[in-house]
Amino acid sequence: MATFKYTIFKDRLREDKTWNVVIRFTHERKVRYISTTMYISKKDLTASFKIKNQQIIDKCEELMKAYRNKVNALNLELNSMDIGSIVDYLKREEDKNGIDFISFARNWCRSHTEIKGIKNYLTALNSFCTFFGREKIMCSEITV
């Protein structure tokens, strides 16, 4: 089960006397830290280095809720993924304006039925979907 918690590293005090707030992600007894853009000072901490600034806590809770929603969307795939892959998935921004390669390729194949080897293209496209494990693949996700 994946869990999230906001925290700081008290030994990582920056020169401007602030600490970076990180989200601790735990999955199958392995831990990774996801850095945030939030920084806090000594006045935002208790004596035991717990965050007491309610605005920072609310922002962290909102971020963790978004991460939980992304993890829940993985369903059973979560069990077969290693923690590094899950963290990469969480950090990746969803490109809502990008092009879905699979739908583009399928539309192109439908409009070019006169090509002799179009069945080979469709077979390759189906294999590509099987490799990724889903039917929606953004062009920005495709790498060497």
Tens-place pLDDT, residues 44-94: 888 888 888 888 889 999 988 988 888 887 776 677 777 888 888 788 765
Q: Which of the residue ranges 20-24, 57-61, 127-131, 139-143 would you say has the lowest mean pLDDT?
A: 139-143
Q: What is the mean pLDDT of the chain?
A: 84
Percent of the chain at pLDDT above 90?
A: 12
pLDDT at 93: 64
Q: Are 103 and 138 in contact (CB under 8 A)?
A: no
Q: What was the pLDDT predicted at 122? A: 92
Per-residue burial over 50-59, b if 16 or more Cβ lie within 10 Å, else e, is ebebeebeeb
Domain boundaries, the chain: 3-91, 101-141
